[in-house]
Structure 1
Amino acid sequence: MLAPVALYADERPRLISTDAGVTELIFALGFEDDLIAIDVTSQLPEGFPALPSIGYHRTLSAEGLMSLNPSVVIGSEHIGPPSVVSALTQAEVKFVQLRSAKSSDQLRDNVLTLADALDQKEKGLRLLTTVDAKLAELNRTNLAGERIAFLLSMDDSKLRLAGEGTSGQSFIELMKAQNVADFKNYRNISAESLFEMQPSVIIVAGTDVESAVPSLLEANPVLTHTPAVKQKRIIAVNGATLVAGLSVSAINEAIRLTQALSNSPALVVQANK
């Protein structure tokens, strides 16, 4: 039987996040001080105290989770293995599963679901108001008509292009643009293949936004002949904001990117602030 959060009203809840998207949402809702552990995909803001790691969200240990004495365990549909899910549903903790946000509607739903599960509905409604205002801003200034290539910056010699069903595709759709890829998931492609797709914008998602674009072009000089690079519309973004689907941080990144491209065609290296 699940123990409701209300049982812990006399003390702070003890939250474990097993997913990067969940961790980001916990911070957005203002519950970060209640976090006691996170999975290895989760990113903590710079300067935030380190937290114990529970491992990879698909290969968790029920014993490891319960040894931390959580009151709430929060994850996504990717949490595993199945035995851990079974153990959590039977344990005296609250177990919350959110679907990875691949659309703004799913993100909004996750905000309300998590806030309600933590008995903090008002916080959820306040965040939802903020999210809706940001989405309205994106609708006013978007990249409709642009053909975007979304690349993961992992190895400059391999171009990892986002296709249908990926976080990259969700990010492109958030800005009302068209994805140049016509396949599903991420796929390694050649620089020549990307050139033939003729993207008008190239987004490079990585951890080092300062060097991502120069390194990519140095390793793949043929890309200098694409419309995107000719018009200096190639941009680096912080991939950590998109690792687990759409988030409030991803919306902020989309706003900065669309405004940069709308205001100036000049080369932009966009860091996540």
Structure 2
Amino acid sequence: MSELHLDPTPCAVHRRKALRLLSAASFGAAALPLFAQSAKLPRLVTVSGAITEVVYALGAEGQLVGTDTTSLYPAAARGTPKVGYMRQLSAEGLLSLKPDAIIATNESGPAVVLDQVRSAGVKIEVIEADHTWGEVQRKVQAVGRAAAREAQARELQARLDAEWAQVQQRIGAAKGRKPKVLFVLSHSASPQVSGEKTAAHSVIGFAGGVNAMSGFQGYRPMTAEAMASAAPDVILTSTQSIEAHGGVDRFWQRPELALTPAYRKRALITQDALLLLGFGPRLPAAIGELHEKFQAAQA
């Protein structure tokens, strides 16, 4: 008896085709959101070392297509394409990276360059740098918006706020006289000292010290007269300033410093410039460390 082969009915064929199409559609629907989400993540350029730190803290470093030359932390940031110094940007350099958003502070510029980039359709987030804890908060929020990571930004901000409150509570409970601290900016042959309305002035106060220079805003040249009248207990400077001088011994050889109480005790505190003055997510740790060094210098 021969084997009998039955041809499938047209209805069965249609049913199998429909099932195959439905299965393919289901697979595509599951995969599409992941692909679409990846494709839509904004391309970012950051103009500020502290802002770049926030990008890494949010895990958004894969979205970075460019950073400025102050973006040195973490070490991986040094390998990103550079758009130049934050105050000397060019529209051509920024636009060549095809960013969806540029995140900068109001210290960045020139302003005409940012206007040109904005008119080319690139979103620009400009954060006010006023040397307060609010500045750090605004940086986290701005990066969260620009990177499409607002939920992660809220989580990071909550953690940083808790760290900041803890550090400030500890510093507020410290007893004893607040040290008079002089900040020296000396990345070149002409050292300057910081007055009010500067990042250095704010961090000295946050860490439980008093700025030895007052009565002016910004920076002024370091003179013998200024050193003698300021009479600082402690000299604060950046590790980059010490390197520019050729080491600690060469730094103390400046004749102006010999007129200060800090010179007699060799009371010198150094911190990395970006950590100390950047007002980024490491600020609570930087202030806590600075406070401990102030306390040790007073002992």
User: Could you list the runs of 5+ residues in structure 1 that have no partner in the other structure?
Assistant: 1-7, 267-273
SS in 1 for 2:85: coil
Return the alpha-carbon distance in structure 2 between the equivalents of residues 238 and 97 of structure 1.
Answer: 25
> TM-score, length-normalised on structure 1?
0.80
Cα distance change of structure 1 residues 200 and 71 upon mapping to structure 2, 3 Å threshold: same
In the other structure, the counterpart of 1:241 is 275
Cα RMSD of the aligned pairs, angstroms, is 2.9
Residue 215 in structure 1 maps to residue 250 in structure 2: yes
Residue 187 of structure 1: how far off its partner (Å): 0.9
Cα distance change of structure 1 residues 85 and 46 upon mapping to structure 2, 3 Å threshold: closer
Report if aligned partners of 1:141, 1:259 keep a CA contact under 8 Å in 2: no
State, as a whole percentage, how many aligned pairs show the same letter: 27
- CA-to-partner distance for each residue in 1:111-151, whole Å, 9 max, x for gaps? 12321333222222222223223322332136772211011
- CA-to-partner distance for each residue in 1:64-96, whole Å, 9 max, x for gaps? 222212122111223333333223333343321
Larger radius of gyration: 2
Return the alpha-carbon distance in structure 2 between the equivalents of residues 234 and 95 of structure 1.
Answer: 40
Q: RCO greater where, 1 or 2, for CA within 8 Å and sep 6 or more?
A: 1
> TM-score, length-normalised on structure 2?
0.74
In the other structure, the counterpart of 1:204 is 237
The total of aligned residue pairs comes to 257
In the other structure, the counterpart of 1:94 is 123
Return the alpha-carbon distance in structure 2 between the equivalents of residues 201 and 70 of structure 1.
Answer: 44
Structure 1 residue identity aligned to 2:47? T
Cα distance change of structure 1 residues 28 and 233 upon mapping to structure 2, 3 Å threshold: farther
Match of 2:81 among 34, 52, 73: 52
Report if aligned partners of 1:77, 1:99 keep a CA contact under 8 Å in 2: yes
Return the alpha-carbon distance in structure 2 between the equivalents of residues 137 and 257 of structure 1.
Answer: 15
Structure 1 residue identity aligned to 2:131? K
Report if aligned partners of 1:154, 1:206 keep a CA contact under 8 Å in 2: no
In the other structure, the counterpart of 1:169 is 201
Structure 2 residue identity aligned to 1:186? Y
More helix by share: 2
In the other structure, the counterpart of 2:72 is 43
Report if aligned partners of 2:234, 2:297 keep a CA contact under 8 Å in 1: no
In the other structure, the counterpart of 2:163 is 134
Cα distance change of structure 1 residues 37 and 133 upon mapping to structure 2, 3 Å threshold: same
Return the alpha-carbon distance in structure 2 between the equivalents of residues 213 and 100 of structure 1.
Answer: 31
In the other structure, the counterpart of 1:4 is none
Cα distance change of structure 1 residues 10 and 246 upon mapping to structure 2, 3 Å threshold: closer
Residue 160 in structure 1 maps to residue 189 in structure 2: no
More strand by share: 1
